[in-house]
Amino acid sequence: MTVQLSGLWLRLVMVLCVAWNLIFSCAWVQAQPASLFKDERQYTHQRLIHKFDFEEGRFGNFEDMPGFWHRIGTAPNIGVPHFDGQPLHKSLSIIDGYPTYTQVRFNIPQHVKGDHSLYLGLNGGNAGAYLEVGAIPAVPNSDYRITARVMTGRLEHASAKVTVYFIDGKGRRVDESVITTGLFRSNDKWIDLSLKLNGDYAPAAWIGMQVELLQERYDKDSLLGEQQVIFNEVDGGVWIDDIAIWQLPNISLSTQSKVNILRAPVKPQMTVKVRDLSGRRLVSELKVYDYRRQLVDQREQVVGAGSPNAWTHVPKLPGYGWYLADLMVSETQGMDGEQVYQPVARTLCGFLWLPGDKPAHLGDAKLFGIRAIDVPDIELPLVSQLVEQSGIYGVTISPWRRNTSLKNIEFQQNQLDDLLHPLMAENRDVTFSLFPIPDLLKSELQQASLQAHMLFELDTDI
């Protein structure tokens, strides 16, 4: 098959820019976070691990704090042996910026009738609470979704944040698993939060959670730098209620290419894996769409409850191009035994199928490039293969990342060297970008608005 460069090949490579995020979201790297649908939670009660509704008077808890929850920045006086020996407890107990005069408690006492919740109130400084180690066990290779209702009130500059993560068997936070909402305000309205913990972390032993109310901080990207005016609020708070932890299937969807770019005569083959420790019968449905979002192929397969948990499928594609694979995993049996078909997990995978002919003219290949800036450690080694498979000539790489520090700079530089060798050997056009400046470097230089060109005006001994 002969393909003209000015036609199909160029159109497909243009799609590469759009497909970048989906290519690296596929589960060959790690399982894509599954999604739990709000209107179908009534069918997933079998997957509910624990729920904090903060109605604890019925358990005899009439203290100020809910069970298993503790203040950030204060060593709890609970008389539990070895509590302070847990690394997570110790680090959160001595953290600065969380004064004891902020409010962290039930919103109303348990002996008072009403809808109880966990309340964090400002009085200058930050306020925070965390879930203790061992409260909620986690099973490795299982995904978890944490849902909650939350409301902020009377906040003008401060914001709330919710963070979830896995904790290993030694009581340490698994940093790679941390998921956060980011800073938010709901302006006196209850909103639903949903955070997904991916189960691809072998050390996972427990689930951890933090709720924080944070004062406004310096904006590291502001042109005002240290001249910014920061407001420290003494009023306002955040309420959180109905925290639920759900155990979900861990699902992955991948092609036979690490970067999900395949060239003829190889045909794309989808591999589906569903890990579900509940032992329940599930149905996995795979649909493939073209770039017009038209359905071109689909297949359904039962998994779990004695059926294989993995299967492969070669979709019937109408031709070369960009495709989106959509995997939906659904329950087949409700709480009372009735037959249902309710989704519990979903993942997407974008891939490119290209003709076997490589570009014949260097000029055509130079029309496009890859911008690999601030790429995570897990994805950076794939850049050289992405360049090779796509036939693109140039690549722009950042020699550092936002999280670069003295602890990881040697690892990141070795990783960069391993990436550059094959690119240079193939005479690729490699360009370095000094963006983004590492956050630690900005902090050390006390220049929140530091730009790359300013580095050449500074002392070389920094």
CATH number of the domain residue 448 falls in: 3.30.750
For residues 202 and 278, membership in a common domain is answered with no
Q: What is the pLDDT of residues 260-282, one digit of tens each?
A: 999 999 999 999 999 998 888 89
Residue 387 lies in a domain: yes
Comparing 274 with 31, the larger pLDDT belongs to 274
Q: Which of 299, 329, 354 is the last residue of a domain?
A: 354
Note the pLDDT of residue 452: 72
Place of tokens 């944490």: 146
Are residues 297 and 317 in contact, defined by beta-carbon separation less than 8 angstroms? yes
What is the structure's pLDDT at 367? 81
437-442: long-range contacts, CB 8 A cutoff, minimum separation 24: 437/400, 438/400, 438/401, 438/402, 438/403, 438/404, 438/405, 439/220, 439/402, 439/403, 440/404, 440/405, 440/406, 441/404, 442/220
Given a cut of 70, whether residue 84 has pLDDT beyond it is yes
Asked if the structure places residue 39 within a domain, the reply is no
Q: Do both 225 and 374 map to the same domain?
A: no
10 domain residue, yes or no: no
pLDDT-derived band at 141, boundaries 50, 70, 90: confident
Task: Give the total residue count for the chain.
Answer: 462
* Mean pLDDT within 195-219: 90
- Residues 284, 243: one domain? no
254 and 210, same structural domain? no
Residue 147, CB half-sphere, CA atoms under 13 Å: how many?
Answer: 17
**The predicted structure's pLDDT at residue 459:** 65
CA dihedral in degrees (106, 165, 196, 268; nearest 10)? Answer: 180
Taking residues 313-326, what's their average pLDDT?
Answer: 98
**Dihedral sign for Cα atoms in the order 35, 37, 43, 47:** positive
Domain contains 3: no
188 plus 173 within the same structural domain = yes
Same domain for 418 and 338, yes or no, is no
Environment class of residue 58 by beta-carbon count within 10 Å: exposed (0-12), middle (13-18) or buried (19+)?
exposed
Band the pLDDT of 31: cuts 50, 70, 90.
Answer: very low
Is residue 336's pLDDT more than 50?
yes
Tell whether 65 and 178 lie within a shared domain: yes
> What is the rounded distance in angstroms from the CA atom of residue 205 to the CA atom of residue 132?
13
Does residue 281 share a domain with residue 399? no
Quote the number of domains for the chain: 3
Q: What is the pLDDT of residue 122?
A: 95
Return the pLDDT at 39.
Answer: 40
306 contacts: CB under 8 Å, gap ≥ 6:
none
Q: What CATH number is associated with residue 350?
A: 2.60.40.2550
Q: Is residue 11 part of a domain?
A: no
Check whether residue 256 and residue 230 sit in a common domain.
no
Whether residues 177 and 311 fall in one domain: no
Closest C-alpha among 232, 105, 239 to residue 160: 239
pTM of the predicted model, to two decimals?
Answer: 0.79
Rg value, the chain, Cα: 26
* Residue 256 domain flag: yes
Domain hosting 324: range is 16-33+249-354
Q: Judge whether 255 lies within some domain.
A: yes
Residue 120 maps to which CATH number? 2.60.120.260
> Tokens in use for 422?
């094959």
Q: Are residues 83 and 103 in the same domain?
A: yes
Q: Which of 56-60, 160-164, 398-402 has the lowest mean pLDDT?
A: 398-402
Pick from 306, 329, 354: which residue ends a domain? 354
Question: What is the spatial distance between Cα 89 and Cα 110, in angstroms, rounded to a whole number?
Answer: 26
Task: Decide: 143 and 34 in contact? Cβ < 8 Å.
Answer: yes
Specify the pLDDT at position 365: 72
The pLDDT, as a whole number, for residue 271 is 98
Contact predicate 83/135, CB 8 Å: no
256 and 240 within one domain: no
Contact call for residues 139 and 277 (beta carbons, < 8 A): yes
- Residue 4 lies inside a defined structural domain of this protein: no
Q: Give yes or no for a contact between 24 and 386, defined as CB atoms under 8 angstroms apart.
A: no
Of 310, 333, 354, the residue that ends a domain is: 354
**Helical residues (DSSP H) of 301-373, grouped into ranges:** 362-365
Higher pLDDT, 221 or 385: 385
Structural tokens at position 223: 């042109």
The first and second tokens of residue 429, run together, are 């056009």
